[in-house]
Amino acid sequence: MKRNTLTLALATTALVATSAFAQDATLTIESWRNDDLKLWQTEIIPAFEAKHPGIKVNFSPSAPAEYNAVLNSKLDAGSAGDLITCRPFDASLALYDAGHLADLSDLDAMSNFSDVAKSAWQTDDGAATFCVPMASVIHGFIYNKEAFEEIGVEVPTTEAEFFAVLDAFKEDGSYIPMAMGTNDQWEAATMGYNNVGPNYWKGEEGRLALIAGEQKLTDPQWVAPYATLARWSEYLGAGYEAQTYPDSQNIFTLGRAAIYPAGSWEISGFNAQADFEMGAFKPPVQNAGDTCYISDHTDIGIGMNAATDNPEAARTFLTWVASPEFAEIFGNALPGFFPLSSTPVELTDPLAKEIVGWRGECESTIRSTYQILSRGTPNLENETWGASVAAIKGTSTPEELGQELQDGLASWYEPQQ
């Protein structure tokens, strides 16, 4: 009998405790940025909770490669969090079309963003915006400054200089000229093809022409980057075929490689790992004085689960995310994820500052395969991964790859037929 009373007492306490919590809203954020867990927990969330007592925020990331699959299953099962970190373009558009993401067009704070920034999370006609833009990432090359001084080479600006620097490192032999592997495939496409490519297809001009069907993937400006990638293989470390993405990161931060084809998202990780000074240079142009193009890719947004129990609290959070205050905290807490807010944000990290400075010197574009072109099967983005790897390994010629991709795209994309 005594035991029963105790259980009852415990149960009552538990009930009281739950109801006390229920008065406050707890928001759960779904994200693929498991690398940023600490920053969210120690900087971003406390800053928000200090301003909005009563709303608790819980950051719950999953592994990047599994995020889309996990998120889709959770949404279908009704167990997804209140706030959803949005992949750009079709992945999120599909969620909106399926009714999983709420329309946020009427959120006042949306006016803090330019149309380009919002374009990654809008319906094709631009009528509805369903995610608040958070950040973009910029591609380029990060290099080991000490290694460059040791060998006595200058930062390259043209492609000829770029390969001359790689040759110098290869000849010297004390550093692997470039840290990249083909095992995980996406690096070859994202940090290879879409890094150097915009200089060939002239950024937005080529990208939009491809979407409109005015250019083809067999055109020289789309094939030439594969020929350039094919030249990379001799500068990658031995066994690069089985080298994974974390391997490449470690090789570079351990100081064993001189150049790392990068996305700016690497900055915070590299700052923590590398004990040498790093610099960055933008993708080399073909001839000195050419206009440079950089991939400034809208990468992260955040939206609201249409089925959330706390729509008011979620909108409060999203309004805060759209504010300059968040941009300031986010941009500096995660150097390399550049805020998209129209108000300029002062960045303190030297490497991040250097990279974001390219926005003033070069024309910005986004990755060529992301908007519309990866909507069908075969998926152009995934095909590009395979093609970039094949180009580096030399298993197919650039012309064959261009033809293969064009055939795949034309099989379902009308403007290309």
Residue ranges binding other proteins (CB under 8 A):
65, 68-69, 72-73, 87, 89-91, 94, 97-98, 181-186, 237-244, 247, 251, 369-370, 374, 377-379, 381-382, 385-386, 389-390, 393, 395, 408, 411
Q: Tell me how far apart the alpha carbons of residues 221 and 224 are, in angstroms, rounded to a whole number.
A: 6
Query: What is the Rg, in whole angstroms, of the alpha carbon atoms belonging to the chain?
Result: 23
Rounded least distance, CB 321 to other proteins, Å: 24
Rounded CA separation 24/51 (Å): 14
Q: Whose Cβ is closer to other proteins: residue 239's or residue 269's?
A: 239
Least separation in angstroms between residue 89's CB and other proteins is: 8
Query: Residue 28 or residue 369: which is nearer to other proteins going by CB?
Result: 369
Phi/psi of residue 103, nearest 5 degrees: -75, 125
Residue placing its CB nearer to other proteins in the complex, 39 or 307 = 307
What amino acid is encoded at 227 in this protein? Answer: A
Shortest distance, position 279 Cβ to other proteins, whole Å: 24
Least Cβ distance, residue 73 to other proteins (angstroms): 7
Closest Cα partner for 118 from 79, 147, 150, 89?
Answer: 89
Collapsing DSSP to helix, strand or coil, 416 comes out as: helix
Q: Which is nearer to other proteins, 186 or 260 (CB)?
A: 186
What minimum distance in Å lies between the beta carbon of 185 and other proteins?
A: 5
Output 22 or 98, the one with its CB closest to other proteins.
98
Between residues 221 and 412, which has the closer beta carbon with respect to other proteins? 412
Contact 28, 58 (CB under 8 A): yes
Three-state secondary structure call for residue 349: coil
Q: Tell me whether the omega of the peptide bond preceding residue 378 falls within 30 degrees of 0, making it cis.
A: yes
Q: How near is the Cβ of 132 to other proteins at its closest, in Å? A: 21
Residue type, 348: T
DSSP code for 87 = P
Of 57, 74, 75, 65, nearest in space to 33 by CA: 65
Residue 369 Cβ vs other proteins, minimum distance, rounded to whole Å: 7
The secondary structure element, H or E, covering residue 389 is helix 380-393
Within 8 A by CB and 6+ apart from 138, the residues are 263, 264, 294, 295, 296, 297, 338, 355, 356, 358, 359
Whichever of 271 and 382 has its CB closer to other proteins, that residue is 382
For every residue of 20-69, DSSP letters joined together read HHHTSEEEEEEES-GGGHHHIIIIIHHHHHHHSTTEEEEEEE--GGGHHH
CB 187, min distance to other proteins, A: 12
CB of 70 to other proteins, least distance (A): 8
How many helices (H) and strands (E) the chain has is answered by: 21, 10
Nearer to other proteins, 159 or 247 (CB): 247
Task: Give the nearer residue to other proteins in terms of CB position, either 140 or 237.
Answer: 237
